[in-house]
Amino acid sequence: MPAYEYRCNNCGRNVSLFYKTYSDYDSATHTCPHCQSTDLTRLISRVAISKPSRDYSKMSSDEMLSVFESGDSRAVGEMMQQITGNDPSLGAEYHEAAERLRKGESMEKVERDLAASSKADSTTP
Ligand SMILES: [Zn+2]
């Protein structure tokens, strides 16, 4: 059964409207059950919104480690970019690696390339 979330512009409440079929939905006049206003704004359903990016700068080192261990290269790339910003001291390879991870390349591949290209000038913290 299709369900739609609306925000009523008259009374300001969020309302859920249910329809038996999609054609019912198409032909229906969407009415606020609280105040009978038809001035409703469709809210985009939660699943359609891309998940808000996490604020990695507030993560503990344990949490960061768990992101690395998750093997989710997009998350790792995003984390690298958030934490280091555009710090030029990290070198172009680092930023390139973060960008490639964000695009979904495998961590193994990016790590290998990175290690191969930056063996000579690795900086110690
Ligand atoms: Zn209302």
pLDDT digits over 40-96, tens only? 998 865 544 445 667 887 888 888 888 888 888 888 888 888 888 768 888 888 888
Global pTM value: 0.47
**How many angstroms does the Cα of residue 48 sit away from the middle of ligand 1?**
24
pLDDT at residue number 48: 40
CA–centroid distance, residue 26 to ligand 1 (Å): 20
Give the model's pLDDT for residue 7.
93
Task: Give the closest residue to 77 by CA, choosing from 93, 101, 59.
Answer: 101
pLDDT band (50, 70, 90) for residue 1? low
More reliable by pLDDT, 119 or 86: 86
**In angstroms, what is the span from residue 60 Cα to ligand 1's centroid?**
43
pLDDT at 3 over 70: yes
Measured in Å, residue 51 CA sits from the centre of ligand 1 at 28
Centre of ligand 1 to C-alpha 15, Å, is: 8
Is the distance from CB of 24 to CB of 59 less than 8 angstroms? Answer: no
**14 CA from centroid of ligand 1 (Å):** 8
Distance between Cα 17 and ligand 1 center (Å)? 12
Q: Report the separation in Å between the CA atom of 31 and the middle of ligand 1, taken as the mean of its atom positions.
A: 8
Could you tell me where the beta strands, DSSP code E, fall in 37-102? 40-43
Q: What band does 37 get if pLDDT is binned at 50, 70 and 90? A: very high
Q: Residue 99 above 80 pLDDT?
A: yes
